[in-house]
Amino acid sequence: MSSAREIRQAILSAPFELDTKGDDVPSPGTLYLPPAHRKALSLDGSLVVGARGVGKSFWTAVLSDDNLRQQIGASVTDLAHAKIWVGHAAKPDIQHYPDQNTFKLLVDRSYDPEIIWRAVVIRILGNIIRRPVPTDSWEITVKWIVQNPESVARLIEEADAKLAAKNHFGLFVFDALDRTSHQWPEMDRIVQGLLRLTLRLRDFSSLRAKVFLRPDQLQPSTTAFVDASKLMATRADLTWERHDLHAMMWQRLINSPKNSGECMRAIISSVLPRESLWGEGPVWRLPTPLTSESPYQRPLFEILAGDKMGKDARRGVPYVWSVSHLADGHGLTSPRSFLAAIRGAAEDSYARYEDYPLALHYESLKRGIQKASEIRVSEVAEDDPWVSRVMGPLKGKNVPVDYGEIMEGWSQKFPDGPQSISSDRLPPQHALQGWNGVRDDLVRLGVFTIRSGGRIDMPDLYRVGFGLGRKGGVKPT
């Protein structure tokens, strides 16, 4: 068996990155497909919903890369014949889709958002059948679509027929729709327009769209159109069970470079029966028995971190504790937070507990939670700056806390009400409903939970990073 120091180094060298932000292609060794995500990636999974950090941009990058898509082809067989184009993503690409300023100009000039999205699709389909489409600007393309409805209809039908003749499917992938506007009413219209187009494309035999949305973007207003229920029936949620998170971690560990990967594969070989070993290849595959919780995942994690979160088991079991303390207010843990916590625990163990007999010290696991919380809070500050602003007056308080005390702190900081919270991104979604609306938005985001009696509580994932305390809990940073 490898030493704790070798295992620790293997964890630190593993490909734990998850946030591609549309700039980088994920490493092949990072691909683990939870069973619940198969519907999300299939051609008929048109509507995919997931919170921050669950893999929306990751899967967008995977789908758009031919080599990576082949890796998951055995699990999602209909992707084998798919031609995939990205219709919107976090990375700017003005040639292939409008940016935020262009969207604003077009919407302000009263163009229907569905027509704007249709322009994105038409430019791509025009290239497939070598039919010229005006592309001098997005407004010129949109105007041409409005003025030539019959030509547009023929173009789509011809492209559909050409794809069908070759036994291909055309799939348009849309992600990062929060980048289309910094005003909720405008973004809701843009999202609804895309969903209407997505539904229309389902009328064709070989054309589909896949839309990745945050939960707060899927509002009654965005699905208020005829036959929206047909689209909602295709919905798939990107959720991760505890065994999915551990399987995803081990998939990355066994693909650590050189000796580190050998170290982690040897650990698995020491626990799994011989007949369960995987075949060797350029990318190592996780053995099937490790994709479920029993009976191997917990003993494997105990090799890394032991079976107690202290001197006895009353303080928790690391295998369970490391996931449950990273859950948001909805009880969901993201792979990004889990990986950040494990890497943070390895770094802390390396710095503080070099002679500890296990790779991950239980106190380091707690500091790993602190690290993951800091990362999540910084991500929130980037995506929803208003959250950091309203959490500022609460720093130093202990939860659970009376809502009246929270509202008093907000009122002192923002005497003109929630609408005065400045932001260059999307503001609180329900700011017009006063502080109760802000509280409810924080509940929807999983930052707050409401206890019986109306007291406000917070999961450690946010509480620690925002600097709030809890009696007996992980200390805030």
How many Å is the Cα radius of gyration of the chain?
24
Contact 104, 113 (CB under 8 A): no
d(CA 405, CA 428): 20
Which residues have CB under 8 Å from 207's CB, separation 6+? 156, 159, 160, 163, 169, 170, 172, 201
The arithmetic mean of pLDDT across residues 208-227, rounded, is 95
Q: Which two tokens stand for residue 472?
A: 């007996």
Identify the pLDDT of residue 280.
Answer: 58
Q: How confident is the model at residue 281 (pLDDT cuts 50, 70, 90)?
A: low
Give me the residue spans of the domains in the chain. 35-237, 242-379, 384-463
Q: How confident is the model at residue 19 (pLDDT cuts 50, 70, 90)?
A: low
Q: What phi, psi does 221 have (nearest 5°)? A: -70, -30
Q: What is the DSSP secondary structure assignment for residue 268, as one 8-state letter?
A: H
Architecture of domain 35-237: 3-Layer(aba) Sandwich (3.40)
Identify the pLDDT of residue 20.
Answer: 47
Residue length, the chain? 477
The arithmetic mean of pLDDT across residues 394-410, rounded, is 96
Contact 250, 24 (CB under 8 A): no
d(CA 340, CA 283): 23
Contact 201, 207 (CB under 8 A): yes
Q: Which two tokens stand for residue 237?
A: 């949620």
Per residue in 329-358, pLDDT (tens digit) is: 999 999 999 999 999 999 999 999 999 999
Q: Which two tokens stand for residue 86?
A: 């990205």
User: DSSP 3-state assignment of 474?
Assistant: coil
Other CB atoms within a 10 A radius of the CB of residue 331 amount to 11
Identify the pLDDT of residue 275.
Answer: 63
Other CB atoms within a 10 A radius of the CB of residue 112 amount to 16
Identify the pLDDT of residue 146.
Answer: 98
3-state helix, strand, coil in the chain (%, to 5): 55, 5, 40
- Which residue intervals of 31-86 are DSSP H helices? 38-41, 56-63, 66-71
Which residues have CB under 8 Å from 70's CB, separation 6+? 80
Contact 231, 48 (CB under 8 A): no
Per residue in 424-445, pLDDT (tens digit) is: 788 999 999 999 999 999 999 9
